[in-house]
């Protein structure tokens, strides 16, 4: 890249699902994207795996114009309280400003409750999980590992690699043969894909 990209903002909150965003953030960081964590406040949060995270920013201080992407991981709190509703509202702010949002697992239900999945193609864990939110977008549900519609990426909890793939495609981090090779390596353990990636690096 000829210019330093704007940061990617990773939402962090208590009970967040550790495994869902690691592929995306690791390779975005390698591609030159600064990763900034945003919590409900700047107080530490604890992931579902017991990792203690000190947020870089409070959510209120995150602005779409300063960001390349907002990532929303799953968390138990998406389904047990309204504590994370401000993150869904922030996603609306990003999408309204034309800045991408990527949501996985329980975060997709948060977006559904916010009305952000009513009019575009999307996916999640299973269709009836989103249907339970009472949202109006059931006819746009796609039974796929991950879905991109415009500036919005959605994925289910078992698809962190496909989730990352869609993010890379959207931001232009990997494209075409390289994107396919990255996915085949990390999703399918395809040794031939490693050779493609190594060749590109050289």
Which residues are catalytic, by number? 105
Interior/surface letters 126-146, b for 16+ CB within 10 angstroms, e for the rest: eeebbeebebebeebbeeebb
Give the contacts of 180 (CB within 8 A, at least 6 positions apart). Answer: 193
Give the contacts of 37 (CB within 8 A, at least 6 positions apart). Answer: 9, 10, 11, 12, 53, 54, 55, 56, 57
Owner of token pair 């700047």: 42
Handedness of CA 76, 79, 81, 87 (dihedral sign): positive
């Amino acid at each position: 890249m000829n210019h330093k990209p704007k940061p990617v903002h990773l939402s962090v909150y208590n009970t967040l699902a550790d495994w869902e965003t690691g592929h995306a953030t690791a390779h975005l960081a390698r591609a030159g994207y600064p990763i900034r964590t945003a919590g409900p406040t700047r107080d530490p949060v604890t992931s579902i795996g017991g990792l203690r995270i000190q947020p870089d920013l409070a959510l209120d201080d995150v602005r779409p114009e300063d960001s390349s992407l907002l990532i929303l991981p799953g968390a138990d709190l998406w389904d047990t309280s309204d504590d994370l509703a401000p993150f869904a509202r922030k996603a609306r702010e990003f999408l309204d400003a034309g800045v991408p949002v990527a949501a996985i697992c329980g975060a997709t239900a948060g977006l559904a409750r916010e009305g952000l999945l009513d009019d575009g193609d999307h996916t999640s864990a299973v269709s009836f999980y989103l249907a339970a939110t009472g949202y109006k977008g059931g006819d746009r549900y796609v039974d796929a590992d991950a879905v991109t519609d415009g500036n919005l990426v959605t994925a289910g909890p078992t698809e962190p690699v496909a989730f990352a793939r869609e993010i890379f495609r959207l931001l232009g981090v990997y494209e075409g043969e390289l994107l396919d090779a990255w996915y085949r390596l990390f999703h399918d353990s395809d040794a031939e894909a490693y050779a493609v990636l190594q060749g590109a690096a050289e």
